Structure 1
Amino acid sequence: MTTPPSVFAAVDIGGSSGRVIAGRVAPGVLELDEVHRFVNRPVRVRGTLHWDILGLYGEALEGLRKLGVSRTPASIGIDTWAVDYGLLDARGALMGNPVHYRDTRTDGVMNRVLETVPRSDVYAATGLQFLPFNTIYQLAAESSARLDEATGLLLIPDLLAYWLTDCSGAERTNASTTQLYDVRTGTWSTELAARAGIPARLLPPLRDPGTVIGPLTADAAEATGLDPATPVVAVGSHDTASAVVGVPATGRDFAYISCGTWSLVGVELDKPVLTPESREANFTNEVGVDGTIRYLRNVMGLWLLQECVRVWAAQGLPADLPTLLEQASVERPFRSVIDPDDPEFLPPGDMPARIARYCRRTGQPTPETPAAVVRCIIESLALAYRRTLQDAVRLSGTPVETIHLVGGGARNALLCQLTADACGIPVVAGPVEATAIGNLMMQARAAGVVGDLAETRALIAATCELRRYEPTGNPTRWDTYELGAHWAVGNR
């Protein structure tokens, strides 16, 4: 007798949107149903950029309510972006809306902290990429009075889970993005926190993905109409951790690009790489499920396109991205190249104007049409992926035969093809909903429906729509167009 598929609920919130997805999982079965989608729109108040965390929690409740009308989920899992947090007071109440990592409050803070704690010490403990918005620098930007008043902090997915269950903690894959987590010992680095001026008492107990956090509170059960006994399960709560679970790989000789607002480019390892060379290359060792290490580097990602489309739409210009991508595919190649990770592109604002300013500053032609800007962005991302992948292979000693590009970027055929061309390696695009799938599969594992990571990925590969892009041309020609190099040899 065939066991009917179990239904799991994934609350998956990224930097620009969120969704609640129902997943039916059984041996040979993986089916998704998007129940609720909503916008994640930050709010600037008195000069500070905040997340609308109460609005996001309300949307999550609404999605769970919609799901519960027709289906009974076996459990709920939550994943979101990393690094941001909420501080709690002595009553367990939130001390104000969490600040957005793109806010300018951390300007200069990282360098100030690193004057007290050397980079070599920070990297030896955490193995984490130095980014100005890492949690450690955000906390260092807080006033001492505010930190003294706080009794604890919760990262965003853990904060949402706390409101659902009244159980506090820090899921390990997300904790490892804070630059306060010792990747060698699997514990908080209380010594590093103290040296950075951060009270270690704020750091919550750690928990592993695949463990049960707790059942719904009476309030959450009433708001959603779900059974109060419904468990909330700790998944890979950093959305990249869930996305890497959702990679449909059949072996270990692969690289991944989790491509959304950010692009996370890297390989999966069994242990961290903490060498001085890795530190100088600014690679990160984030924790994955089953004790794996996500050895990667952040690349700015589709944020560049998202901001351009937003600005063009506000100006009344054509802003249909599929049309712009089609037009960009026939634009002259390599006319202008930017560094996607230039700090100028991090905050919200007029992205087309910033790209034009960057091109003028570097002596390149300014893209004059939206299609030309899109071509510039896509080629620049492909080059950034190429550089990052080459560094990952060199520093980790891991061979790569296939690139799995998952997330929203898997829909972008031009980006997928140019990535294959630039890297000289086949790109397998999909699944688009890799993050939600990884979330669902960790819940299914907790329920005993699926087995280990290999079995999980085999099910994803067998049930999801994938597209393969073979490299065309000679990848060495991309050497000519590395950032700045093509202007040294003349405008092509």
Structure 2
Amino acid sequence: MSADVSRHVAIDLGASSGRVALGTVQAGKLTVEVLHRFPNGGVPVQGGLYWDVLGLWREVLHGLRLAAGHGPIDSVGVDSWAVDYALLDEHDQLIGGVHHYRDTRTDGVMEDLLTRMPREAVYDATGIQFLPFNTAYQLVAHERQAPGVLGRAAHLLMVPDLLHFWLSGRQVTEQTNASTTQLYDPRTGQWAGPVLDAFQVPAGLLPDIVPPGTDLGEVTSAITHETGLAGTRVVAPATHDTASAVAAVPARGEGWAYLSSGTWSLVGVETSHPVITPEALRHNLTNEAGVGSTTRLLKNIMGLWIIQECRRAWGNPEFAQLYANAELAPSGGPLIDPDDARFLPPGLDMPQRVQAYCEETGQATPQSPAEITRCILESLAVRTSEVLSALENVTRQTISTVHIVGGGSQVRFLNQLIADLSGRVVVAGPVEATLIGNLLVQAEACGQIPEGSLRDIVLTSEALDTFEPRSVPATRKPLIGQDQAARS
């Protein structure tokens, strides 16, 4: 390999699928080739919901074998969804399975714990949005479900950190994922001791926190034997997939926000420091760590998950046809609150849940798949617009452009709805922002690209689509219960 060419492997684990991709950096540009795709999803076991983490590991090893066939690989790094974790014993063996954040074991736990430590105090210590599946609440639920389990555990590793441990032999928690747990202090960059104490989470479980771009050493001899990779560095990228995606937002200057669009919609702005204020708490905004010592001030919205589950209930028609039919359905119809708790669990009754919400709120009931899909898409666009306005209020900055990245950036109808309903210019792409961010953080850590050049490389490597607002923003009633402090 010539000195001006480097190769890196990104392992990207999403809630519905995973990928192993090869990124080649040459002459200031990045090319990405997905080598292996594989399905992912929750596995129900005795009333619980789990991830098949060993099955994912098998697929990752297969992808790495394919990567090794392309010649020397400079580095490999893993990103995934947030909040979920594995417990290991003193021999570094898994204790039980890895629970899925949609497992109902956390029902009511958040409300109970906030009687131990007031909401305002928890937010001041962590700056994190109150969601029932945050790691803090999962751990308490785990202890209640299996008394003594936290005492028996020697280590806790977030999902991507677990895979980095299996690759390199080193146990750490990468900062962007640590910041999602509601156990992390964004001001100090360390674990939040008062929260650990209040929720009775043993501090000794939690490894050292490292920033994105940390070199964890070479792959182990066992990995070399299994995959053929030799001398490859294990580099922790921004292991929270949203953090990797935001790192690849092709933006310059000020006045922009991002929407990482997929199973979840994550709407936010990038700031130089955490914004932990009463107003941020009122809007239930989250402060998560980003690349380059930035903070991602954002809001989690339920996202395209609702359509994904409706599609499953309808026999898996093509997404393109669903969206095309929805565009032909009447506009200005009923709206749902995407963040209503009823839409969180999986289930083939998702279309009925949408209809029930509309009926309960005195709106017309969407009947056909096209009407239900349009209802969901318009609701997501309205909710996005609401969050953008909240971010403007909290930061006192004007947002004129919204960068949509991720798989949802391909939904042109949704992109246009967001432009129309928010009155802002929408720039869509790149679709593979998570992979790109992961790969370029690795490349920077390996010294293959200049520090701080990541977004410039994205701008020169990717084609983008622009959606202008077609009219003055339409007036739509606010979604039920928006931004209530108690909202999950």
What TM-score do the two structures reach when normalised by structure 1? Answer: 0.95
Deviation at 1:399, TM superposition (A): 2.4
Partners of 1:252 and 1:169 in 2: how far apart?
Answer: 34
| Residue correspondence of structure 1 range 68-467 to structure 2 within 5 A | 68-143=68-143, 144-227=147-230, 229-313=231-315, 319-349=317-347, 350-453=349-452, 455-467=453-465
Partners of 2:226 and 2:468 in 1: how far apart?
Answer: 49
Q: Which amino acid aligns with 2:234?
A: V
Partners of 1:336 and 1:480 in 2: how far apart?
Answer: 10
Alpha-carbon distance change, 484 to 141 in structure 1, aligned in 2, over 3 angstroms: closer
1:57 matched residue in structure 2: 57
Deviation at 1:150, TM superposition (A): 0.4
- Kindly provide the CA deviation profile for residues 429-458 of structure 1, in whole angstroms up to 9, marking residues without a partner as x: 0000000000000011011122233x2111
Deviation at 1:233, TM superposition (A): 0.1
Partners of 2:256 and 2:222 in 1: how far apart?
Answer: 44
Q: Which runs of 4+ in 1 moved over 3 A?
A: none
Give structure 2 stretches of 5+ with no counterpart: 482-488
Deviation at 1:481, TM superposition (A): 3.7
Partners of 1:419 and 1:473 in 2: how far apart?
Answer: 12
Deviation at 1:484, TM superposition (A): 5.7
Secondary structure, in 3 states, of the residue corresponding to 1:237? coil
CA contact (8 A) 2:125 2:185 kept: yes
Deviation at 1:190, TM superposition (A): 2.0
The worse-fitting range, judged by mean Cα deviation, of 68-77 and 345-354 is: 68-77
CA contact (8 A) 2:382 2:476 kept: no
Partners of 1:142 and 1:483 in 2: how far apart?
Answer: 33
Partners of 2:377 and 2:154 in 1: how far apart?
Answer: 45
Partners of 2:44 and 2:293 in 1: how far apart?
Answer: 38
CA contact (8 A) 2:4 2:27 kept: no
Deviation at 1:402, TM superposition (A): 1.1
Deviation at 1:52, TM superposition (A): 0.3
Secondary structure, in 3 states, of the residue corresponding to 1:130? coil
Q: Which amino acid aligns with 1:446?
A: A
Q: Which amino acid aligns with 1:291?
A: S
Partners of 2:163 and 2:221 in 1: how far apart?
Answer: 15
Alpha-carbon distance change, 484 to 148 in structure 1, aligned in 2, over 3 angstroms: closer
Secondary structure, in 3 states, of the residue corresponding to 2:315? helix
- Kindly provide the CA deviation profile for residues 367-389 of structure 1, in whole angstroms up to 9, marking residues without a partner as x: 11111111011100000100011
Is residue 31 of structure 1 aligned with residue 39 of structure 2?
A: no
Partners of 1:41 and 1:277 in 2: how far apart?
Answer: 36
Partners of 2:4 and 2:192 in 1: how far apart?
Answer: 45
Q: Which amino acid aligns with 2:341?
A: P
* Identity between Structure 1 and Structure 2 (%): 49
Give structure 1 stretches of 5+ with no counterpart: 486-492
The worse-fitting range, judged by mean Cα deviation, of 159-168 and 26-35 is: 26-35
Q: Which amino acid aligns with 2:82?
A: A
Secondary structure, in 3 states, of the residue corresponding to 2:223? helix
Deviation at 1:41, TM superposition (A): 2.1
Partners of 1:458 and 1:53 in 2: how far apart?
Answer: 35
Deviation at 1:70, TM superposition (A): 2.1
The worse-fitting range, judged by mean Cα deviation, of 67-76 and 147-156 is: 67-76
Is residue 480 of structure 1 aligned with residue 482 of structure 2?
A: no
CA contact (8 A) 2:323 2:373 kept: yes
Q: Which amino acid aligns with 1:169?
A: V
Q: Which amino acid aligns with 1:274?
A: I
1:469 matched residue in structure 2: 467
Partners of 2:385 and 2:16 in 1: how far apart?
Answer: 26
2:484 matched residue in structure 1: none
What TM-score do the two structures reach when normalised by structure 2? Answer: 0.96
Deviation at 1:3, TM superposition (A): 4.8
| Residue correspondence of structure 1 range 4-19 to structure 2 within 5 A | 4-19=4-19
2:22 matched residue in structure 1: 22
Partners of 1:395 and 1:484 in 2: how far apart?
Answer: 21
